Each structure stands twice: as C-alpha cells, then as structure tokens.
C-alpha cells in the first residue's frame, strides 16, 4: 500500500462514509483503488488528475473523496462498465494506470468489522494494476466548454461535443435517439 499510515487510511474511510452515508465494501474498495492509483502516479494535485470510474456505485463516492476529483469539475469521469475498477491519468505527463479489484477474501460483506479489515490487506491479491494509455478529446478536459451549440429539434444548449449532426443542424443525444426521459407536455 502507499506511504499512508493505517490511521490516515482509517480517517480517509471515515470521510468517505460521511459523504456516502454508510460503511460498505464499496467504500473500502474505493479507498484502496484510489490510494493505489495515487501511489502509482505520484500525483498529489487533483488538478493534474483525471479518474475514470467504471461503475456508478459506492466506489465512485470513495474515489472522489480520496483523490479530490469531482464529476462537476470534470476530473472524475464515469464509465459504467459495472466493474470495480478505475483508471488514473496524470494530465501533465500523460501517464495512466488502471487499478481493479482482484481477489476478495471470503467473508460476509455485511460484517462491518470484517469489511474494515480489507482496508489493511496487502495490495496483492486484492488489487491488480497495469499501465494504460488514455486519449482524451479537447472537449473532455476540465475547464470551460470548448463548444456550445443549440439542438435543432428541442433548442436546448449542448456542450462539449455531446451532439450529433442532423439533417437540419446539430441534435442533442436525447433528440437523436430515445433518451432516458420522455417529455409529457411542451416545456416553457
């Protein structure tokens, strides 16, 4: 594990629990994934870091708290692959590492004392990691939007290249294909 002391690791977990709302295996694994990613990159400044989190469950909260990255700052990115994994990219050097959960010890995931023990297990076989290559489009980087268009169908603003060409102009993704919502009446 990193140079982080056991007490510091426990304190990080407590911060994660406060943010997330409860202790669970996802919080513990999120702490471990994040600490390993930071150790591999040797990056302390969250402004240099982008983290791709591969599921939208408990680990996402823990990884954000430990790394200082945030979805709203565009330094945390969600890729819903359903995996207990995250990739850590140093924006300055371009170096990236992917860390995933390897082998969990047999235990009841609802036994809170046993769940806490995972926080202090050796990195292997709990975690696996490998160096990876990550390419980002300029629209995916933190900072102000690089491009803003209006959807030719609904008229809403679409930022950062999240539009597709349409016969009458750009379309937002929810007008181009069925979105996650359906309007019931015309908006104001």
Q: Kindly list the domain boundaries of the chain, sorted by start residue.
A: 6-136, 144-176
Query: What would the CATH number be for the domain defined by 6-136?
Result: 3.30.1330.130
Q: SS3 sequence, the chain?
A: CCCCCHHHHHHHHHHHHHHHCCCCHHHHHHHHHHHHHHHHHCCCCHHHEEEEECCCCHHHHHHHHHHCCCCCCCCEEECCCCCCEEEEEECCCCCEEEEEECCCCCCCCCCHHHHHHHHHCCHHHHEEEEEECCCCCHHHCCCCCCCEEECCCCCCEEECCCEEEECCEEEEHHHHCCCCCCCCCCCC
104-163 pLDDT, tens digit per residue, is 988 888 888 889 999 999 999 999 999 999 999 888 999 899 899 999 999 999 999 899
pLDDT above 50 for 1:
no
Share of the chain above pLDDT 70, in %: 97
The model's pTM: 0.87
The CATH architecture of the domain made up of 144-176 is: 2-Layer Sandwich (3.30)
70-83 pLDDT, tens digit per residue, is 999 999 999 999 99
């Amino acid at each position: 594990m990193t140079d982080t002391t056991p007490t510091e690791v426990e304190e990080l977990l407590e911060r994660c629990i406060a943010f997330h709302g409860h202790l669970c295996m996802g919080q513990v694994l999120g702490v471990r994934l994040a600490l390993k990613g930071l150790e591999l990159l040797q990056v302390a400044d969250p402004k240099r870091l982008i983290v791709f989190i591969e599921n939208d469950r408990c680990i996402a909260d823990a990884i954000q708290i430990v790394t200082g990255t945030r979805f709203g700052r565009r330094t945390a990115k969600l890729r819903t692959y359903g995996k207990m994994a995250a990739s850590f990219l140093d924006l300055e050097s371009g170096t990236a590492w992917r860390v995933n959960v390897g082998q969990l010890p047999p235990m009841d995931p609802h036994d809170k004392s046993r769940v806490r023990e995972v926080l202090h297990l050796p990195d292997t076989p709990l975690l696996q990691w490998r160096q990876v290559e990550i390419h980002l489009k300029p629209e995916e980087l933190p900072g102000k939007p690089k491009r803003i268009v209006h959807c030719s169908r609904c008229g809403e603003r679409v930022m950062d290249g999240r539009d597709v060409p349409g016969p009458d102009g750009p379309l937002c993704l929810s007008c181009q294909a069925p979105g996650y919502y359906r309007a019931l009446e015309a908006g104001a």
